[in-house]
A and B are shown apart, each in its own frame.
Chain A
Amino acid sequence: MSTSYPNRPARGGRLPALAAVTALLVGLAIVFAFFVAPEDADQGISQRIFYFHVPIALTAYACFGWAAFKALLLLWRKEERYDLESYVAVHQGTIFGALTLATGSIWAKASWGHWWLWSENQLVLFLVLFLFYSAYFMLRFSIEEGPRRANISAVYALFGVVLVPVSFLAIRLAENVIHPTVFTRDGPQMTGTMFLAFCVAWVAITLLAYTLYRVELAGKRLDANLRELREALTT
């Protein structure tokens, strides 16, 4: 295990600038979603939830992917800082996963009158992933801090990323046999401006996730540094 300190800020501190740009973009995304994009022909206003729901889902996938990437780096390079980065990425992914479930179920209620639809593959997949990654925290907090916990958390994060396509396939297979679909939903046809609103929202939400990731990482590193300082001063 190399001895690079885990608490050196990896890259420069342009966090405030990042946060400002994110806030601006999120505001822009809302403006686009509500005022620029035309109302959807058949779904009406409830279609506007789509502009946040799908980008949040895509961002959750990105967080889980990022966590697996950092986990791979930890196992390969054995540098302590990747453990913290992988953990924070999983934490972000779980938050956005929960948001996906929340906004998704509100959208389902608005469009089809049911809070939960087993036929909605995306939602079911996120439910499975949410259960999986919640277990990540149960596992992580039940092992004593150290190289062993870092390795095990990393391996589990790798399993998560493999589980995504496998579960998606399973849910699709289950769809027409075990749970015949009740509501068919063809992909939302998007006009030019709708697609633009979607893209702005996607960039905004991704940046939001990255900002929160950097904020939480900074917080966790501060914690670690302070703990070391306290130890140095009190022993």
Chain B
Amino acid sequence: MDRTQLLAALEGLLYVAGDEGFTKEELANILEISSKEVEELVEAYIELCTDEVRGITVINTAGHYRMATKKEYIDLFRKVYTGNKKRLSTAALEVIAIVAYKQPITRAEIEDIRGTNSENVIRKLVAMSFIKEVGRLDTPGKPILYGTTNDFLDYFNLSSLDELPELADDVEKEVDEEKDLFDSMTKIKITE
């Protein structure tokens, strides 16, 4: 396929896939071009969509290119599609943030950082498929380790975890360095 056909094929593919989207690798496979070329092709397509006459564009969330409506007309689209008005609670966001940065992480560790029971919030986030069990810690009781999901990335408009901004690093560095100490402190607390 020549460039024009590739662009048309990309549009046709992304339309059918809708919210499911395609990964770079999948598109490379279907269109028989390299991943690098897919990237350039998508860039070129997005460029075409910047034309004011266009109402759609392509976003990259959770590693998937997804065709989406343009931001500019969201008020009009909202007339028809009111969307999910429910936003996550602060407590849920706290847990999400902790899991996102510290994964894999156990419930006990999350509760340590928050200083409060987090069982229900974690249950809710698992049920919403924003976090999930990614393994078990090899310690007595084999506690569940949690990590974030693709649904999490999509919900927060992230293409991958690398996109997360860094936490105020000086504090984190300090925290990491002294983590062993911190761990021993919490253990003491638990046995008390």
Q: Do A and B bind each other?
A: no
B contacts, CB < 8 Å to A: none
